[in-house]
């Protein structure tokens, strides 16, 4: 008997039941797209009549098959799919995992989630569902698997990313600052592309947009992270959601709270969130902690609050009392005090502390309290390692990326650090001695490097390599600080991020090929050759992949690249004529868009080699205009504001 209905087992929690109901409706919706069958969805208390029914439930609610251990866990994901007595069963460690199990079952039917949007999914038409002959059990390798809002997203872009993350089993989304207004306004105001500018978003409107994003996350059971930078300025009465210059003075009653730098207590370069506090001043210290605890009390929807200091270097307090401890030791004091206060007043909340800039060096004198999780047990503190200036040519754990320098803790306000990865790995090892608890990597693969490298394929490989090593480095996952629109030119990097966070043991070649087959279908071999050949032209020979693409090519090589791009564009046009599937047509379209964009760069470099500098500038102007003029068509996949970086970099080549 064919499956005819889907039933889900309530938990008694409205928040959890909402996710299970959504999972059931998603299963029914996609089955209709696959087979045209219409499945009725209802909650049910027990699996009384199994035949013809798909059941969704938490792993402790109904019996599981023998020898298939799956235990409840709010933070860790896993699911089990099996058939029995003519029914289908999908169980999860938590409601979110049940939804992940639904999407995994749909992938077994041939569904592929390539990008956000209607043309980002491939859903085949099939006669009947393929049910598993043996139980399928999967558990995520890493606990923390997510993205952090950056770039220039609209509310539609943000909601699209939430949907895609759940379908690819990413469990975390981080909304920076007290609201996401700073990022939304990059899109709505569009200073980089004024022809499409709209009205700016107010703080109230941004918070309403955030509420939509959070609602979409809660519908899917995703883990919500918030804030980060901004607590220092919020403590002295100047809350800000972004790196904005203040147009008013610091309130007089808080002047003493500011860090003393060069004999002055003032906003650091006029930016509130880049201004540090005088942590030896008890009122400032207490206000910093109280501001965070009060926020957690007021926001029960929050799962994890990020507690970062200011976002600048060489701005730490130089007063006599603050000099008695390093900034990392002052931070450890904050961690201990905050951990205790949250346990008492907001016991469900967890918080993240940040290893970044001067905080890359671990505390020397102040030990982090056991109850925060320093000994490895799950406390309410989570260590976040942020190697912002690392190399994206080598894997993080690659020993070849080492400048052989010592890099001791810098003197107060004399920050200097290496750009080589061995430096960051050593700093992380020191922090893991001080704090052995929960942790994750906060990394920037898809923030700048992919745009600067003019391809996402090298970064895709690097992500896979990094995610194979994180557990050995003592990290329990990765939250990617990145544009929400980074599905260009291939989308391989985004899929690698999601899939390798779930299971980094899948070999790279297999993961790459599986994605190309899904994205391009019968054209996958062509796409593979195009991307590989293009990467060979873009690789400048710089082991850190920091040199400007094409800057190393001679006239003969640039001509070869120009011919390759022209031929590829003709070939893509022919292939699109024979492609009926929208998702795969869009994949080819993005390759063509990429090739067109690169033609301007090749033209500019050829003109420079010929000494035709005005012509080179005109080619780069045309490249920027191309991105701006086509933004409405491609905004789901490409963050134009960040993609323009490559044009700016090319202008600096001498």
DSSP of 414-454? -----SSHHHHHHHHHHHHHH--SSEEEEE-IIIIIHHHHT
Final residue before a domain boundary, out of 517, 551, 586? 517
Residue 70 domain boundaries: 5-139
Query: What is the tens place of the pLDDT at every residue in 161-202?
Result: 999 999 999 999 999 999 999 999 999 999 999 999 999 999
In contact, 56 and 90? CB cutoff 8 Å: yes
**CA–CA dist 360, 385 (Å, integer):** 8
Residues 148 and 22 reside in one and the same domain: no
pLDDT of 46: 76
Residues 85 and 217 reside in one and the same domain: no
Residues 471 and 340 reside in one and the same domain: yes
Report the phi/psi class of residue 301: left, alpha or beta, with left for phi > 0 and alpha for psi in -120 to 50: alpha
Q: What CATH number has the domain bearing residue 193?
A: 3.20.20.80
**Mean pLDDT to the nearest integer, 313-320:** 98
Nearest to 551 by CA among 563, 542, 564, 560: 542
DSSP category for residue 196: G
Residues 638 and 513 reside in one and the same domain: no
| DSSP conformation letters of 523-578 | GHHHHHHHHHHHHHHH--S-TTS-SPTTTT--HHHHHHHHHHHHHHHHHHHHHHHT
3-state secondary structure 591-654: HHHHHHHHHHHHHHHHHHHCCCHHHHHHHHHHHHHHHHHCHHHHCCCECHHHHCHHHHHHHCCC
Number of domains making up the chain? 3
Residues 433 and 350 reside in one and the same domain: yes
Residues 180 and 121 reside in one and the same domain: no
Query: What is the tens place of the pLDDT at every residue in 194-227?
Result: 999 999 999 999 999 999 999 999 999 999 999 9
Q: What CATH number has the domain bearing residue 14?
A: 3.30.379.10
Which single residue is written with the structure tokens 């990008």? 115
Beta-carbon count within 10 A of 269 CB: 11
pLDDT of 24: 98
- The whole-angstrom distance between residue 62's C-alpha and the CA centroid of its chain comes to 35
**Mean pLDDT to the nearest integer, 453-458:** 97
**CA–CA dist 651, 599 (Å, integer):** 15
Q: Is the pTM here over 0.85, yes or no?
A: yes
Residues 563 and 627 reside in one and the same domain: yes
**CA–CA dist 545, 449 (Å, integer):** 8
Residue 548: pLDDT over 70: yes
**Mean pLDDT to the nearest integer, 486-494:** 98
Who wins on pLDDT, 624 or 63?
Answer: 624
Residue 405: pLDDT over 80: yes
Residue 365: pLDDT over 90: yes
Distance linking the first and last C-alpha atoms of the chain: 71
Beta-carbon count within 10 A of 360 CB: 26
**CA–CA dist 273, 317 (Å, integer):** 15
Query: What is the tens place of the pLDDT at every residue in 109-151?
Result: 999 999 999 899 999 999 999 999 999 999 999 999 999 999 9
Final residue before a domain boundary, out of 139, 169, 190? 139
On average, the pLDDT of the chain sits at 96
Between strands 112-113 and 121-122, the pairing is: antiparallel
Please, which pLDDT band fits residue 533 given cuts at 50, 70 and 90?
very high
Coil vs helix vs strand at 80:
strand
Residues 29 and 132 reside in one and the same domain: yes
Q: What are all long-range contacts of 196-199, with beta carbons under 8 Å and residues at least 24 apart?
A: 196/631, 196/632
Residues 340 and 410 reside in one and the same domain: yes
Residues 131 and 251 reside in one and the same domain: no
Nearest to 384 by CA among 162, 501, 225, 241: 225
pLDDT of 1: 62
Residues 189 and 277 reside in one and the same domain: yes
Q: Is the dihedral of CA 175, 178, 181, 183 positive or negative?
A: negative
3-state secondary structure 504-538: CCCCHHHHHHHHHHHHHHHHHHHHHHHHHHHHHHH
Final residue before a domain boundary, out of 517, 552, 577? 517
Residue 259: pLDDT over 70: yes
Residues 129 and 173 reside in one and the same domain: no
DSSP category for residue 254: G
Task: Tell me the HSE value of 303 on the side-chain side, using a 13 A CA sphere.
Answer: 16
In whole angstroms, how far apart are CA 289 and each of 163, 273, 277, 351, 379? 34, 16, 12, 12, 18
């Amino acid at each position: 008997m064919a499956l005819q209905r889907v039933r889900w087992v309530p938990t008694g929690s409205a928040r959890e039941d909402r996710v299970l109901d959504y999972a059931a409706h998603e299963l029914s919706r996609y089955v209709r797209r696959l087979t045209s069958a219409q499945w009725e969805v209802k909650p049910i208390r027990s699996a009384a009549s199994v035949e013809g029914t798909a059941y969704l439930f938490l792993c402790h609610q109904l019996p599981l098959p023998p020898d298939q251990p799956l235990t409840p866990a709010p933070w860790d994901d896993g699911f089990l799919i099996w058939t029995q007595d003519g029914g289908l069963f999908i169980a999860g460690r938590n409601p979110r995992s049940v939804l992940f199990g639904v999407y995994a079952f749909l992938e077994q039917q041939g569904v592929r989630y390539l990008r956000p949007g209607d043309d980002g999914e491939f859903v085949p038409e099939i006669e009947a569902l393929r049910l598993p002959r043996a139980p399928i059990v999967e558990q995520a390798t890493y606990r923390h698997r997510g993205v952090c809002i950056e770039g220039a997203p609209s509310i539609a872009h943000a909601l699209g990313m939430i949907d895609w993350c759940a379908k690819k089993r990413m469990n975390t989304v981080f909304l920076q600052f007290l609201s996401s207004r700073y990022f939304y306004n990059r899109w709505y105001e569009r200073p980089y592309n004024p022809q499409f500018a709209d009205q700016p978003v107010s703080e109230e409107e941004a918070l309403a947009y955030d509420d939509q994003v959070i609602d979409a996350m809660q519908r899917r059971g995703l883990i919500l992270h918030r804030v980060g930078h901004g607590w220092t300025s919020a403590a002295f009465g100047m809350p800000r959601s972004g790196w904005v210059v203040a147009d008013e003075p610091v309130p007089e009653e808080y002047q003493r709270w500011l860090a003393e730098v060069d004999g002055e207590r003032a906003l650091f370069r006029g930016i509130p969130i880049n201004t540090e506090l005088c942590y030896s001043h008890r009122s400032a210290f207490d206000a910093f902690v109280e501001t965070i605890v009060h926020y957690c009390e007021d926001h029960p929807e929050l799962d994890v609050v990020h507690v970062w200091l200011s976002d600048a270097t060489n701005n730490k307090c130089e007063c006599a009392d603050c000099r008695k401890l390093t900034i990392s030791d002052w931070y450890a004091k904050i961690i201990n005090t905050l951990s205790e206060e949250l346990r008492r007043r907001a016991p469900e909340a967890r918080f993240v502390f940040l290893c970044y800039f001067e905080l890359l060096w671990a505390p020397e004198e102040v030990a982090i309290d056991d109850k925060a999780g320093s000994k490895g047990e799950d406390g309410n503190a989570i260590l976040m390692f942020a190697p912002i200036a690392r190399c994206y040519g080598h894997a993080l754990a690659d020993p070849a990326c080492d400048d052989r320098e010592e890099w001791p803790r810098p003197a107060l306000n004399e920050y200097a650090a290496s750009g080589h990865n061995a430096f960051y790995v050593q700093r992380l090892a020191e922090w893991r001695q001080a704090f052995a608890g929960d942790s994750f990597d906060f990394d920037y693969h898809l923030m700048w490097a992919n745009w600067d490298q003019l391809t996402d394929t090298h970064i895709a490989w690097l992500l896979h390599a990094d995610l194979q090593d994180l557990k050995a480095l003592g990290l329990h996952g990765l939250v990617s600080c990145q544009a929400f629109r980074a599905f260009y030119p291939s989308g391989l990097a985004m899929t690698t991020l999601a899939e390798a966070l779930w299971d980094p043991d899948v070999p790279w070649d297999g993961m790459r090929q599986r994605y190309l087959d899904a994205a391009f279908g019968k054209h996958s071999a062509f796409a593979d050759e195009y991307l590989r050949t293009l990467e060979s032209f873009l690789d400048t020979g710089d082991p850190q992949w920091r040199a400007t693409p094409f800057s190393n090519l001679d006239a003969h090589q640039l001509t070869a690249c120009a011919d390759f791009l022209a031929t590829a564009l003709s070939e893509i046009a022919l292939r699109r004529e024979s492609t009926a599937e929208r998702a795969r047509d869009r994949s080819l379209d993005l390759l063509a868009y990429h090739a067109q964009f690169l033609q301007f760069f090749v033209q500019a470099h050829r003109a420079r080699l010929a000494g035709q500098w005005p012509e080179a500038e005109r080619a780069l102007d045309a490249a920027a205009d191309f991105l701006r003029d086509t933004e409405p068509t491609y905004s789901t996949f490409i963050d134009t504001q960040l993609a323009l970086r490559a044009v700016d970099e090319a202008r600096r080549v001498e």
